[in-house]
Structure 1
Amino acid sequence: MIRFDPIKNRIYNDERSIKIGYRETRVLELLLKNSPEIVSKQDIINFAWGSEFIGDTSLAKSISLVRQGFVRLGIKETPIVTVPKIGYRLIDECVFIDSQVTSVTYIPLVTVSDHVPIDTHEIDALSVEQTLSDHQQSVSNRNRLCYFTTGCLLLASALMAFAKINDRSLGDTYPVNRLNEQWIGQMQVFQEQDMVLSPELEAILYKYQCDCVAYISEEPGHSELSLLDKATRQSVNIFYTPAQSDRVSAEIALFLKRGQL
């Protein structure tokens, strides 16, 4: 069982604890909140990065880092499933959030007048000092707000000037990553632009024809094939190396057989 602590940004079990980044924590938190439903890529990006302009590559890297954390915890099959062209989903009842009850210590208040005699002159002096201190603090806060507002306006002006000089839109500054699309029989296949589909994998996909969408990606040390059956809405992730084509064929056959049950 994997436990997740979103406060300390870590995933752990009884044997090990793995530290993950803030973005990865936000990604896993949203997937866990909606498990086992599919969460779109754009929803994950909005939740984890807010208004920042990023592409699918940054999201894929964060997903890969979380999966590597699961592997380091001894999990052979990742609970995060890729749904091609849509997003990701987390398998139900695989990750549990760590809930800790924060205990609050209450300190009883003691009435000062019960122990110390009241001096009205000291009270008046303290009241004047407190009033002056509050006024100075208020002035300081207003000054800080003015400085902050001025800085924001200057930054906005600089950005607008930069945009006019370069005469390009945000869409040009932050290009969207595109995928190569091809059809192998009835199967719609997507992969990165710089990837080349191997003849062995192409032959396997020709062999198992179905109304499916396939997404092929390369991770450090292995490749990943994600299949989504349009009819059953079921999906599977297959991790393999170039020498494991037989395993890929067997996994696809088993996946299609389960969809017919």
Structure 2
Amino acid sequence: MQFHPTVLADPQSRQRGVLVSEAVRGEGAFLVDRTGARIMTGLHALGDLAPRDVVSAAIMASLRRSGEPHVLLDARAFGADFWERKFPGILELCRGRGVDPVTEPIPVHPAAHYSCGGVAATLDGRTSVPGLFAVGEVASTGVHGANRLASNSLTEALVAGDRVGRLLATGPLPHAGAPMERAAQATVAAAGLPGLKSAMQEHAFVERTEAGLREAAAVAAAMGSGPWAVDDASLTATNLRACAEALLAGAIARTDSAGCHRRLDHSERNAA
């Protein structure tokens, strides 16, 4: 899972988070803590323009030291005209949440952004399962590796999407086998979802340890399943638990740090 370092910190909102684009830092905005000290100074040659995983980790380390809920992105030097001309969408969204970037720093925090793993597939969508094709964020095509580069979305979506579309349109498709009888699957109770979200935020976020990951896995396992109603809430909980269990299993098994997977108990990199 890739984490974007600068999403508006707005814990009271139930709406989708406001992503403050890296382009804002590209134009000269910079990250500071509550004392005004620059966060990225001395940490990377590119400073505030370092890769997303580096900036996200720096922010979390700063928050761990300070105990604060967020850091600040200072773009006040832009002025109103520049904001309105260059970043009108971000400006409008921030103001809609009660923050005016023209006159005050933006409170920001890393947030889950895109998957850069998934179902192993070629760039034309083929998987190891006959008849099953995967494309886009659900697929692991080798485009991203251990970290996700924003511009690679063009390759991931347009190139792979075009290739799998042509393949499916021209056929013949591989024989997918006869349908199988499947037992009815139990759903997960939606009541356990807040606890799962909290556990994932706490233990499977930017900084990870085996102990924390196993604690989150225990929360997921304890959600249980049963003959609850099959509705939007229970299906959402069931699907999110499945995703959480897959992410946690992979993160526990990966005992090194690479790209956006950072293990505080295994900071070494695997040269292989």
- Which of the five TM-score ranges fits, normalised by the shorter chain? under 0.3
Q: Normalising by the residue count of structure 1, what TM-score does the alignment of the two structures yield?
A: 0.21
Q: Normalising by the residue count of structure 2, what TM-score does the alignment of the two structures yield?
A: 0.20
The structure carrying a bigger strand percent of its residues is 1
Which structure has the bigger radius of gyration? 1
